[in-house]
Structure 1
Amino acid sequence: MYYSFNHQHYTYLARGIYIEQLQNWMNIFPKAQFLILLSEDLFSHPQETMNKVFQFLELAAYLSEEYLP
């Protein structure tokens, strides 16, 4: 197997651009099966963001004390 130090360590910018990766997945699965959230929202409003996840997954809302200030 070929290994390139430069590729492994200097392509982080390209790997951080998710649109190309998502487009590949969206060619296979319906877009309705994706929930795309911002990590900033999770960090600043964890309970509300997790409620979006639970709703998307059709699960009951869950209140976690870990999210409370």
Structure 2
Amino acid sequence: MQQHGITDAQEVVKVGDSIIDIEEGRNAGCRFSIGITTGAHTRSQLQSARPDHILGDLMELLPVIEGTI
């Protein structure tokens, strides 16, 4: 965020494939903290971090955020 001059975390959607990624997004106050199952963790592992959404494919992202930012 700092590198790109973003000062409002509500303008950010954090997408990651690990529990730590989801926690980072929540701790930063991002509008959405989203898990994706194409990497490090399974759906059930990601669910333990309480993400706003869990995606199976990055192509599912646009419908989730469309109209919210």
- Name the structure with the higher strand share: 2
- Name the structure with the higher helix share: 1
With structure 1 as the length reference, what TM-score do the two structures score? 0.31
With structure 2 as the length reference, what TM-score do the two structures score? 0.31
